[in-house]
């Protein structure tokens, strides 16, 4: 799957992933109103509203981007129907040929991580049948519990040819409270990065490893260092756009081959119609606004990479 991600990034010339993080502030009112009219003020109405919103965005952008990254929290928030919308979104995006990165940030002790890995990347046996559940292509994983919590994901990835992105340096303002603390003279995030680099070497695709990392666009200097520490890992970079990251901050996340990073934007794309710059699309044109934002983002990154 890491080969497919690389191939799709090259083909579409866009190291971009669209964060499909639907909230009631981002979904246009006309969609929510219509669904409430049909299903009442229920979680089911939100399931249908999310699916419609996501479907139209996917239809608009799928030829231009290699991947989507649904943040499961935004679906889990609406309980079982919300999680059904997550499952349907994953399935639809895959039908459209997109790579799906499940932003689930799971991680637990061994047997429990194995259950999460099964849920999101693997399959479960029931009697004589094998059933896949959420079936994303990649998942994000929290490293706090150490290798016990990560290895079960890697085991499933080997079997299914899928991959993970392990949290290293997250994009949020307080990420330094623990991640920046010095351990034997270098920050915790570097130690996590070193461990990822060692794991990554043992599980390689053609050019890159199945084991990637998450490093926020809001920390470009740390990105530069982590790029060097983990040369064979893709870096999934959240925090572009709405969180403050800009194209020129991103260049050091890429290797010299122009690969090795995939930049996520969520609100900046799926909520573009609410941005003054794309306001002319109107609420009804939210999917076209998303595509316009994708094209601008692609240009911003290409320009920054061209100038480095």
Shortest gap between Cβ of 43 and a second copy (angstroms)?
6
185: contact with a second copy by CB under 8 A: no
CB atoms within 10 A of CB 307: 9
- Nearest 5°: the CA angle 5, 70, 270 is 100
62: contact with a second copy by CB under 8 A: no
The closest alpha carbon to 2, from 245, 204, 244, belongs to 204
30 to each of 41, 49, 212, 247, how far by Cα in Å?
A: 14, 10, 39, 33
Q: Which of 112, 255, 274, 275 binds a second copy (CB under 8 A)?
A: 112
How many whole angstroms separate alpha carbon 219 and alpha carbon 70? 22
- The yes-or-no answer on residue 232 being catalytic is no
36: contact with a second copy by CB under 8 A: yes
The closest alpha carbon to 164, from 192, 139, 197, 195, belongs to 139
Shortest gap between Cβ of 106 and a second copy (angstroms)?
7
Q: Which of 8, 142, 274, 275 binds a second copy (CB under 8 A)?
A: 142
The one catalytic residue among 105, 161, 246, 248: 105
Minimum CB distance to a second copy smaller for 188 or for 259 = 188
100: contact with a second copy by CB under 8 A: no
Q: Which of 54, 89, 118, 264 binds a second copy (CB under 8 A)?
A: 118
Q: Which stretch binds a second copy (CB under 8 A): 8-16, 147-155, 219-227, 257-265?
A: 147-155
Q: Which stretch binds a second copy (CB under 8 A): 54-62, 145-153, 247-255, 300-308?
A: 145-153
Q: Which of 11, 177, 206, 221 binds a second copy (CB under 8 A)?
A: 177
Q: Judging by DSSP bridges, how do beta strands 129-132 and 123-126 pair with one another?
A: antiparallel
83: contact with a second copy by CB under 8 A: yes
Q: Which of 28, 66, 149, 241 binds a second copy (CB under 8 A)?
A: 149
- Binding to a second copy (CB under 8 A) within 191-230 occurs at 191-192, 195
Q: Which residues bind a second copy (CB under 8 A)?
A: 21, 23-24, 32, 36, 41-43, 45-46, 71, 73-74, 76-80, 82-84, 87, 105-110, 112-113, 115-116, 118-119, 124-129, 131, 133-134, 142-149, 167, 170-179, 181-184, 188, 191-192, 195
Residues annotated as catalytic are 105
């Amino acid at each position: 799957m890491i080969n497919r991600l690389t191939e799709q990034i090259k083909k579409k010339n866009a190291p971009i992933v669209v964060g499909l993080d639907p909230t009631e502030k981002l979904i246009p009112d006309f969609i929510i109103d219509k669904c409430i009219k049909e299903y009442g003020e229920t979680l089911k109405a939100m399931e249908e509203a999310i699916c419609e919103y996501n479907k139209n965005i996917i239809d608009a952008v799928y030829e231009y981007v290699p991947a989507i990254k649904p943040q499961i929290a935004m679906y889990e928030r609406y309980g079982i129907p919300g999680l059904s919308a997550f499952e349907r979104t994953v399935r639809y995006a895959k039908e459209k040929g997109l790579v799906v990165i499940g932003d689930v940030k799971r991680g637990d002790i061994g047997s429990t991580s194995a259950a999460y890995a099964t849920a999101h990347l693997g399959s479960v046996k029931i009697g004589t049948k094998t059933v896949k559940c959420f079936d994303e292509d990649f998942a994000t994983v929290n490293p706090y519990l150490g290798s016990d919590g990560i290895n079960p994901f890697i085991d499933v990835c080997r079997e299914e040819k899928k991959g993970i992105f392990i949290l290293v340096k997250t994009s949020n303002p307080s990420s330094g409270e623990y991640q920046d603390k010095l351990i034997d003279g270098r920050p915790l995030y570097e130690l996590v990065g070193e461990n990822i680099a060692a794991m990554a070497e043992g599980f390689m695709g053609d050019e890159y490893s199945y084991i990637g990392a998450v490093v926020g666009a809001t920390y470009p200097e740390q990105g530069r260092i982590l790029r060097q520490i983990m040369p064979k890992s893709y870096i999934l970079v959240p925090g572009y756009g709405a969180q403050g990251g800009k194209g020129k901050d991103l260049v050091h996340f890429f290797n010299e081959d122009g690969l090795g990073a995939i930049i996520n934007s969520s609100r900046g794309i799926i909520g573009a119609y609410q941005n003054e710059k794309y306001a002319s699309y109107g609420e009804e044109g939210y999917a076209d606004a998303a595509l316009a934002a994708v094209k601008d983002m692609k240009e911003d990154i290409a320009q920054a990479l061209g100038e480095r």
